[in-house]
Structure 1
């Protein structure tokens, strides 16, 4: 099976792709295109999956990823670095051709950014902590420092856990409501004392509020589609001891 590359219309003309689990060589609970170096999968298999993923989006480029920590931090990448030297951050930007910026997810929202005119791209890992902590804002600021203009930036929010699959408790709801009462619109009533959170819509709102005029949401639920995507929450609910990670990539030719 070839690597499935999901693309956003908003990013037409820019090398990018949201990848799932199709097209890889991992087996068992990690079956497919598991790119998670932090998983318990065979490191050699993970490396082959990462090679396949990069080649499917930007052949010949160097894949650059982070040690993701659910922060609001973004780093500017001017040259490739070794995996063992990955910065602890959750977004990265560049204006250098030949670098494939990669964000790993397994329910959190991957966000890809581009200002094609300025030749600046970015990628962010927006879990709920990073999203409310301003990871998309940090990405935009870092892109501007490289010459991008946020009114020209386009962004796409890739496969992530959908509201119908994302049950949260009252404390989670209150955290968002206290940050901004208008955030209540991203929650629907669930079972007693619980809510269903729309992470994708919240991330898109943060982008629009920051001045991004074109924001595309792919509307793909990682939890509900086990054949296509890895999901941390689904693996947890199934009692599985580990889970795979998928990657979203963007770069400049």
Structure 2
């Protein structure tokens, strides 16, 4: 790892203070960072000159984030690619658990797989990027449905029969609503042989910079490798993976 440059680190320390507050004066920055007053004035002056900070007005000595900070953030957001970022995080998670990892988005009443990394085991789940499945039959889909207002879920399935993919699939709206409430409260969805008789799965929500759920990440395991201990470990891991992907999309807790 390259040696960190102290002056650059201090400049970022100043900028990151504005993640928590709108306006700060040089004395307030000095107090929060514990830096020498002259150092802070030099840093603030340079950031102001480069457009990363700007005075809030003539009658105050406070600063706020400048246009250049906005431009950088906008450029980052515009260039984000959910499928690409999802693939990178899925690869990391799959390497740790050696099981199949998916990232999916909701499209109406379906879930669409946008990223996938296969298990390294000879017995694995058969799936593909671009495949669609009924959202109510998958852990990914149920995670995405759980993020919706219940009125929207009711409207989504209004006049529509909940067809099952296996004998374990949810085919009753009342049962689905109850499970979605549990997922929303617990943060992780579970699926046991609901879309595939031989596969169990856990999933967690992925959020964007606004905090909205825009995708979900899942870990799928053949039931021959599934037990309570495995499920507990994978629930923690899928939460971790979904959080990592959320952070790559600009979400902050």
Say whether the fold is shared (TM-score over 0.5).
no
Q: Which has the larger radius of gyration?
A: 2
Q: Which has the higher contact order (CA 8 A, sep 6+)?
A: 1
Please state which structure has a larger fraction of its residues in strand: 1
Please state which structure has a larger fraction of its residues in helix: 2
